[in-house]
């Protein structure tokens, strides 16, 4: 595999990993705040409270920076002046495409986190939280898929070159929808929540794959490609890996602790 392709693949994999893990933690933070506000403290709240803080929502909000960066990478938000790229902030803030991407990010965070927490509530036998989060998952499933469709057609209007390249990867999107449909069916039937969450991860993974492959070799349409970089590629790869560790390890550790608490709760009940 060419080094430039390997580097960009690592970058996309990092972004996808953060989207999934960050969504889980952001949803856990929202659930904790909701429980504080409502005064209702189900067993799931105790598990989350021990290893969480309101700053988990900040992890998730930082994740909203990623879709903004992806929107910027589609071009039309820069101008060249004296050989320098200048961001057109007003165009970015008033672009229907950029807002459609942010909308997709928000509803995806809520959908992914609700599906995971439904699975987790089932594991710790918190029937009340399970029922509530199952409804949330079903409630956010339709907005999540509609937002994906909106972004797809907004991209056609915003960047026809990338949209055309995405058509060459069109086969992944029906598979993504099938994974989504199967996941929602299992949640609706109250079956195999773990499998359902896995299918939702597959759903977003396939969509991310189609987007990332069709984006290559552009870093910033139409000005910058992976072939234009003047930074040593080995240094860039090392920087990306270090960045991934600093970004993902804290949330991965918190996820591990959450499951560790599940086993402690299970032992304490016997």
Q: How many domains does the chain have?
A: 1
Of the candidates 43, 243, 203, 233, the residue with the CA atom closest to the CA atom of residue 112:
203
Asked if 12 and 210 touch (Cβ cutoff 8 Å), the reply is no
pLDDT of residue 131: 87
Residue 242 is part of which domain span? 3-266
User: What's the rounded Cα separation, in Å, for the pair 134 and 142?
Assistant: 14
For the question of whether the overall pTM of this predicted structure is more than 0.85, the answer is no
The pLDDT tens digits for 212-225 are: 888 877 777 877 77
Which of the residues in the chain have pLDDT under 70?
1-8, 35, 38-58, 60-64, 83, 226, 228-270
DSSP labels for 65-109?
HHHHHHHHHTSSSEEEETTEEEE-HHHHHT-HHHHHHHHHHHHHH
| Token output for 130 | 């399970």
Of the candidates 105, 100, 175, the residue with the CA atom closest to the CA atom of residue 140:
105
| Token output for 66 | 């990623």
**Rounded alpha-carbon distances, angstroms, from residue 223 to 73, 76, 84, 90:** 10, 10, 11, 20
């Amino acid at each position: 595999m060419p080094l430039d392709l390997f580097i960009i693949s690592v970058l996309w994999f990092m972004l996808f990993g953060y989207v999934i893990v960050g969504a889980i933690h952001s949803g856990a933070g929202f659930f904790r705040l909701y429980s504080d506000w409502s005064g209702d403290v189900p067993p799931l709240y105790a598990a989350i409270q021990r290893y969480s803080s309101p700053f988990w929502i900040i992890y998730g909000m930082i994740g909203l920076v990623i879709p903004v960066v992806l929107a910027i990478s589609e071009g039309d938000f820069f101008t060249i002046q004296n050989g320098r790229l200048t961001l057109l902030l007003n165009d970015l803030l008033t672009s229907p495409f950029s807002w459609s991407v942010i909308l997709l990010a928000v509803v995806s965070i809520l959908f992914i986190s609700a599906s995971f927490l439904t699975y987790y509530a089932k594991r710790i036998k918190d029937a009340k939280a399970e029922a509530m989060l199952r409804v949330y998952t079903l409630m956010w499933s339709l907005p999540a898929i509609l937002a994906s469709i909106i972004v797809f057609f907004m991209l056609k209007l915003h960047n026809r070159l990338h949209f055309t390249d995405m058509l060459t990867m069109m086969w992944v999107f029906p598979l993504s929808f099938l994974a989504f449909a199967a996941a929602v069916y299992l949640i609706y039937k109250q079956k195999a929540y773990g499998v359902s969450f896995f299918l939702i991860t597959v759903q977003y993974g396939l969509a991310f794959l189609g987007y990332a492959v069709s984006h290559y070799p552009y870093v910033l349409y139409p000005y910058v490609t992976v072939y234009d970089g003047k930074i040593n590629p080995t240094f860039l790869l090392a920087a990306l890996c270090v960045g991934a560790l600093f970004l993902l390890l804290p949330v991965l550790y918190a996820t591990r602790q959450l499951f560790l608490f599940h086993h402690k709760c299970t032992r304490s009940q016997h």
